Amino acid sequence: MRSVTTYEELKDLLARAYPDLSKQLQRIARFALEQPHEMALGTVATVAQATEVQPSAMIRFANALGYGGFSEMQQVFRSHLLERSDSYRERIERMRRKKTNGVHAPAGVLHQLVNQSVAELGHLEEKVLQAHLKAAVKLIAAASRIHVLAQRRAFPIASYLAYALSQLELRTHLLDGAGGMLGESLRSIAPGDVLVAASFRSYSPEVVDAAAQASHVGASVIAITDGPLSPLAPSASVCLDLADDSDLPFRSLVAPLCLAQALVVSTGHHLAEQAAGKVLRQARRREAAP
């Protein structure tokens, strides 16, 4: 059977194949149509748990539809998820239909976005646990190499982190995927390294996969994301969760960039304290020497 490549084709295929599927595979089929977002971002294990089947059933389901495996089928759901993301023009049109007085003028837009950003910053300390921030700092300071990855809306966070951490004289690499080389860059990640990955709804599948790959090879993953249900969370050694459940058409980057800056400055303090402690220990050893 030739595997279909679009979500619409897949829906038609499921409708035709459904009567002949086992009860277990029918359960997966219903979940796939009702929760395409979860199919796009979940792992075999998480989707199997959600549908109350064994992970092997997910493979059989994909095979029954003509795919070589779950990952191949999942690409169709991921493509569908990206296609469904509204364009900026569509989001602005929704804002215009609300007809808020004065908000469409540049001054009104600026005022609205400033207020939203101030509100986000006001809750940032409550959202990010200090214990998680300290754990992330310790991982970064002790890492052999630091790899930073984010795409689309979150890319400025990765760009800033790569620049700022390198200014602390830490071995830092921005994984920008230029020239289609993201896969090659990921293969250089090794145990003892740290991957800092940032992604928000709609999550970048490449970033989610990279975090899983880094965790699999024994690297530590620090996730900067928007909620405990983020697909980055299962791969993360430390999850800096902004708890952003906002449905605003244009979500601000002020809070995650402030968090990134706090991460860098805190790492700088940690490194300085380590250096001062080392000098103090050396001085004490010299004093104790006969």
The residue extents of the domains of the chain are 7-84, 109-264
200-255 pLDDT, tens digit per residue, is 877 888 899 999 999 999 999 999 998 766 888 889 999 998 866 555 556 778 88
The class of domain 109-264 in CATH terms is: alpha beta
List the single range of 13-17, 66-70, 163-167, 267-271 with lowest mean pLDDT: 13-17
- For residues 106 and 206, the model is more confident at 206
Which DSSP category does 128 fall into?
S
The pLDDT value given to residue 280 = 80
This prediction's pTM = 0.64
Average pLDDT of span 53-58: 92
The pLDDT value given to residue 89 = 58
* pLDDT mean across residues, the chain: 84
Strands of 238-241's sheet in order across: 172-174, 146-150, 194-198, 220-225, 238-241
Assess whether pLDDT exceeds 90 at residue 168: yes
The pLDDT value given to residue 10 = 87
Band (pLDDT 50/70/90 cuts) for residue 12 is confident
Q: Does domain 7-84 have CATH number 1.10.10.10?
A: yes
Same CATH topology for 7-84 and 109-264? no
